Structures are given as C-alpha cells and as structure tokens.
Amino acid sequence: MNIILLGPPGAGKGTQAGRLEADRGMVQLSTGDMLRAAVKSGSPVGLKAKAVMDAGELVSDEIVSGIIDEKLGTLASRQGVIFDGYPRTAAQAEQLDAILTKHGRSLDHVIELEVNEDKLVVRIVGRYTCGQCGTGYHDSFKHPKVAGVCDVCGATEFKRRPDDNEETVRTRMAEYRAKTEPIIPIYAARGLLARVDGMGEIDAVTAAIEAILDAV
Ligand code: AP5
Ligand code: MG
C-alpha cells in the first residue's frame, strides 16, 4: 500500500507516519527529513536546499522528486510507503505519478489532516527532538520523564529545527496554502482523498487513519 499524508506544517504528518511505520512495517519517506540529512552531510543537494528551507520556502521540484525517485529505487515494490510532505506542488504530484509507474507502484490513499493553523504555530515552536535518536518532545505537551534526559536512549542533548520559529512557520503555512492545497482537488477527483480531523488526540488521529487503510 502506498499513501500520501497531506497537511500544513505541524499537522502531524511526521508523527502519524512514524506510527504507521512502527505499526504496519511501512516506510516513511519524508522529503523534509531527507533534505535535513542532506544539509547536515553538506552534500550538493544540502548546500542548495539550506537557505531555502531556513526561509520556509519550497525546494525545487526537480530536487525533491529526484530524491524520492532514488529512494524508491532502493525499496522492494511490495514494501508499502508513506509519503510525508511530498508532493507539495502540482508539478510534484505529476512527477510522483510517473515515478510510481516507473517503480511498479500505484497510489492507494491520500489522507488530508484537517487542522486549525493558529493552533499549529504553538505545536511547532514548542517542538524539539533528541539529538541522538530523534525522539520528539514538546515544551507544553510532551516532556521527557526525567527532565533533560531522553526517554528512549538516555541522551542529554536535544535540538530544534532552524525553521521552527514563528516568522518562518507563517511563510511555510503561506507556501502550503498557495502551492500545496491546490493539489487536493486533483486527488479528490481521482477518488483517492480521505479527510481526518488532525486536531484530535494523537491516538485518535492514528485510529482514524488506520480505519481508512483497513476499509475494504
Ligand atoms: P517538512 O519537514 O516536511 O516540514 P513541514 O511540512 O513544515 O511539516 P512539519 O514537519 O513541521 O510538521 P508535521 O506535519 O510533520 O508535524 P509533526 O508530526 O512534526 O519540510 C521542511 C522544509 O523542507 C519545507 O519548508 C521545505 O523548505 C522543504 N521541503 C520538504 N519537502 C518538500 C517538498 N516536497 N517540496 C519542496 N520543499 C520541500 O507534529 C508537529 C508537533 O505537533 C510535534 O511536536 C508533535 O508532537 C505535535 N503533534 C502532532 N500531532 C498532534 C496532535 N494530534 N495533538 C497534539 N500535538 C500533536
Ligand atoms: Mg514533519
């Protein structure tokens, strides 16, 4: 099964993709995570992407579709994938169709997380992760059990994304509205779209997504 999780910054795409990966053995393909890894490694893609990401704007369609194409080439076609943060433009949606065909795959569901943008800013600016294993925490909603120590791996270094400040979040949201929202009707017209309330508890959102994936 191949699915897309759609929604603005902070909608919970990464959170839910991580759960589906753990529960169903699917593979999460987050273009944001892959681009951040490229920035960290100092690769040519990373060097091109860094300033664009820090400004909250979109990296070029060629770069992100190239990353997805390359990654799918490393997976067996029966291995289900969750596209997290891709596609984000009409051009990427078209490129994804061609990439899926090339790799012998097709799209099963496009799930839109419906959210209240103003509440998302709070989610995003409070978010941080373990510097070692990447487990996510939040200043208001999810603290480590022992202050300053990761629950999962015991590390004591944490980090925040450079684009998780209020000003950049507003730009990311505007980019979503201008360039990503317009692709939603394309998937609706193909009968692939399902909507889930992304403002519920994390478990409730997961349950709603699982129900869509399990429906015959
Ligand atoms: P990307 O990394 O994809 O960021 P984003 O879309 O802005 O989304 P986020 O990762 O911030 O949010 P999320 O929906 O994953 O939410 P999360 O689960 O973390 O992209 C970053 C940048 O890379 C882009 O700006 C662009 O420059 C570039 N890029 C990436 N892909 C690209 C593409 N295809 N084309 C061009 N450029 C691209 O949740 C957020 C917080 O809320 C967490 O703290 C979480 O614990 C909490 N939370 C989640 N769900 C709930 C809930 N139900 N209730 C309460 N809290 C919750
Ligand atoms: Mg994410």
- 147-175: pLDDT as tens digits: 999 999 999 999 999 999 999 999 999 99
pLDDT class of 144 with cuts at 50, 70, 90: very high
110 Cβ neighbours under 8 A, 6+ residues apart: 3, 4, 6, 184, 187, 192, 193, 194
Sheet arrangement for strand 81-84: 27-30, 81-84, 2-6, 109-114, 193-197
pLDDT at res. 216: 72
Q: How far is the centre of ligand 1, averaged over its atoms, from the C-alpha of 104 (Å)?
A: 28
pLDDT at res. 185: 97
* Protein residue with its CA nearest to atom 17 in ligand 1: 12
Contact yes or no for 50/43 (Cβ under 8 A): no
The residues carrying an active-site annotation are 13, 88, 127, 161, 172
The token duo for 103 is 């790799």
pLDDT at res. 95: 98
> Helices 44-55 and 166-175, interaxial angle, to 10°?
100
How many CB atoms within 10 Å of residue 5? 27
8 Cβ neighbours under 8 A, 6+ residues apart: 115, 117, 120, 172, 173, 176, 177, 180
> Is the distance from the beta carbon of residue 95 to the nearest atom of ligand 1 less than 6 Å?
no
pLDDT class of 141 with cuts at 50, 70, 90: confident
* Protein residue with its CA nearest to atom 7 in ligand 1: 9
Distance of alpha carbon 130 from alpha carbon 215, whole angstroms = 35
Q: How far is the centre of ligand 2, averaged over its atoms, from the C-alpha of 128 (Å)?
A: 12
33 Cβ neighbours under 8 A, 6+ residues apart: 14, 84
> Is the distance from the beta carbon of residue 9 to the nearest atom of ligand 1 less than 6 Å?
yes
pLDDT at res. 110: 98
* Protein residue with its CA nearest to atom 34 in ligand 1: 86
- Number of the ligand 1 atom closest to the C-alpha atom of 89: 35
What's the whole-number average pLDDT of the chain? 96
Q: Is the pLDDT confidence value at 118 over 90? A: no
In terms of pTM, does the model score above 0.85?
yes
* Protein residue with its CA nearest to atom 26 in ligand 1: 58
pLDDT class of 183 with cuts at 50, 70, 90: very high
Which of 36, 58, 128 is the best mutation target for the ligand 1 pocket, counting ligand atoms within 8 Å of the beta carbon and taking the most? 58
pLDDT at res. 5: 98
Q: Answer positive or negative: Cα dihedral of 114, 117, 118, 121.
A: positive
Distance of alpha carbon 36 from alpha carbon 54, whole angstroms = 10
> Is the distance from the beta carbon of residue 10 to the nearest atom of ligand 1 less than 6 Å?
yes
> Is the distance from the beta carbon of residue 34 to the nearest atom of ligand 1 less than 6 Å?
no
- Number of the ligand 1 atom closest to the C-alpha atom of 120: 42
pLDDT at res. 151: 96
> Is the distance from the beta carbon of residue 110 to the nearest atom of ligand 1 less than 6 Å?
no
pLDDT by residue (tens digit) across 48-106? 999 999 999 999 999 999 999 999 999 998 999 999 999 999 999 999 999 999 999 99
Contact yes or no for 38/49 (Cβ under 8 A): yes
